[in-house]
Structure 1
Amino acid sequence: MERKNDFEKRVEKKVAHKVKKIVKVIAMVLFGAAMLLLANYLLMRLWNWLMPDLFGLSTITYWQALGIFVLAKLLFGFGGGGKKGGGPRHKSKVKSSNRCGSLRRDFDEWKHYDQFWKEEGEEAFKAYVERIKNENHDTK
């Protein structure tokens, strides 16, 4: 008798689990359909708001907007949001010390730039400008 109750409890749990899964799947399908219909409605409203004024095109119906939406998906793909080679696993493999590789510079040296410019840079720049002026003057 006790064994039968255990079996019944296990079957009830499995059935309840399956029912929950089915309800979740149905809810997700309904949610996806609602999002598709909403996106199509927004496309129609945006088209009818912008296109006639900007490009002189006529307004469209809901079903024409659905056709444009499907056509755009066919032409430009169904992507968006998917992992394409990247993702968290890929990011964890990149070491922070190796991030810039050979292009990495030691920016600690830049703290001396202001002092260099005060001592040598201005004079060197003025000499360069004078030299350019003299070369241009000679060529004219």
Structure 2
Amino acid sequence: MSSRLVPLRGLGRATVLSAIAAGAFAATSGVAQGPALAMLDRLEPGLWEVRARDESDTVQLCVDNGRKLIQVRHRGEACRRFVIDDAPNMVTVQYTCPAGGYGHTRVRFENPRLAQLETQGIDNGLPFNFVAEARRLGPCPR
């Protein structure tokens, strides 16, 4: 069986070259993207207070990076995360924990010391659902 080139009828050389260049750009465009969940890296480390909007629940966390705000109800657990949305000012993450809990959290960036959280899921067999404000209070206590 012989191999031969089939001419691309109706397509000019410039069109074919443009298509090849576009394909090459698409294949390498992932290299130009920033790190996943980069918005969370803009939040300052330190002592943060997460206060539910209805003020029924307040938690203080020592945060070394903003990713800790994803799992407020499952702190310290090694949960598997799936990024649903990763925008410059908002991230949405679904996570599942080995102990059976799970959550869905949206973090919206206000400034390096203030973020808005919406989170829901199951913790210790019970559902949770709250909207909260996360605010940096200062440095973590030693």
TM over 0.5: no
Compare the two structures and name the one with the higher strand fraction.
2
Compare the two structures and name the one with the higher helix fraction.
1
Give the structure, 1 or 2, with the largest relative contact order (CA under 8 Å, sep 6 or more).
2
Larger radius of gyration: 1
TM-score by length of 1: 0.28
